[in-house]
Chain A
Amino acid sequence: MKKTFPVAAVLTALFAASFFIVPLIATFYFSLKMTRGELGFAAYASVFNSAAFLNTIVYSTVASLIAILIGAVIIVPTAYWVRLKVPKLRPVVEFISLLPLIVPPVVLVFGYIRLFGSNSWLPLTSSAFGTDVLLVIGYVVLSMPYMFRAVDNGMAAIDITTLTEAAESLGASRLRTITTVIFPNVRAAIISGAFLTFSISLGEFVLASLLNRPAFGPYLVQLGQDRAYEPAALAIMSFGFTWGCMVLMQLFATKKPGQRWLPRFAQRTTP
């Protein structure tokens, strides 16, 4: 088989690469042009100095973190239980966990507003706190497919059924098994799912906007309508943030249980 230089492949790859990179370069360049006539980070400074930015990003961060927590608390035991005790229900649980991919956020929030509105059976939207709760719950639902899949994959990788049987044959109670055997081994998978959730929830727009909460997403849109250079700066920061989340997500997804977090610097001597 003769080896010829893959011209077509190289051109295709270059074309795709430029399609991906050029907008990033353009955005970055644009974000540096705030001060007339020179390139500088004025746009970024403006963003960080803005109170609205700090408030909304804190709000969204807190909301995302709580959503991750709730999601983990609901999904991890469920994934474990389904694998161990009721495998027949697994297809059902998996199907439900994938439903949020079919339901667009706008439909979901519409349902929330009607079902939990001011004159409904559970008027969550009548109070700011109640609406906050609803927002967080919305984030949990939106991230459910990814969280469930991450945790489920993590549990599949360590063969949870056999581990549990081994632990119990050695005399451990169910709770002890969960805390000392199962949880440490799926910790990485949970964190992996958490990063994906964080990346989705931080800049989320539809739910936050329609539920009228002071989150980061609506702030971004508002800024886009009012300012010219700050949105570009935020776009770059957002891309960097998403990149960071994805890298960390991958790192934790592939981390084996017991693997060191940082490389070993000194050799431990064994007696």
Chain B
Amino acid sequence: MTALVLAALGVLLVLPAVLPSYALTVFTFTFFYAYLGQAWNLLGGYAGQLSVGHAAFVGIGAYTSAMLAREAGLTPWLGMFVGGALAAVLGAVIGYLGFRFGLRGFYFVLLTVAFAEVCRIAALNTEAIGGALGLYITFTGNPRQFQFQDPRAYYYIALGLVLAATAVTALVERRRFGIYLTAIREDEGAAEAAGVPTFRYKMLAMVASSFLAGLGGTFYAFYLFSLQPNTVFGIPLSVEIVIRPIVGGAGTLLGPIVGSFILSPLAELSRYAFAAGGWSGAHLIVYGVLLVVVVLFFPQGAVPWLRRLLGRAQP
């Protein structure tokens, strides 16, 4: 497995030299969504707290750094941490309310969805940040402004993000933090009985996860140069974030990445297939079907399944 991963990494590092620009975009998005999926994975996969509102954190991160750059001239390289911090604050609020009031399963999902939607509607109605028209960033091509003439720069940044998030997750996985999170996911009451401060660890997972997602918001803003409340705070983005680790294998280190490599090309294909109708929801049908198939037939996701496959191939 390790050799395979290293080989894949090597290929990804040299790939931009030969990729056409369209494929470069697809890869960049693949990495970026894998990164967001990895951020989600910490909370949803390891700690088992299902959030379908992670778009809120991305949105806050994106708007924060974009507004700071526009109004205060702060470089997004710093703004992204402010955005991450604000996203973490929201995460802490949601987490505190949800965990203190004992919302589990479906009720926690509803809470995250409701908060994301409140953010979306608030953004739509706040003229100072562009309201329904959205926020546009003027392209300067200045790297200090997180802007690059060469799209390959975004490719490497997105790759760097996903690698960093995966490294963080790998570190967490081996430490007490990660072990406690999986115990909470499996049985919260039993974890408490075994001495796990479940509230504190769920809060930590929530804050870390929302901080990482918030960092990602800056990339989103300065890669796309436009922010619409309906897209950056919308449920479809939350679904994009959730579905990758679920398909790849929630609570596994490589799950979000494998999931993203399965889903992004699939989404592109279906968009392409239905592009004639000028219609944008096709990939969501594909996601829906895939979600159902995964739940029914691969509840652990692709990674454990692949691992078994590879394990069987070895003598």
Report whether chain A binds chain B.
Answer: no
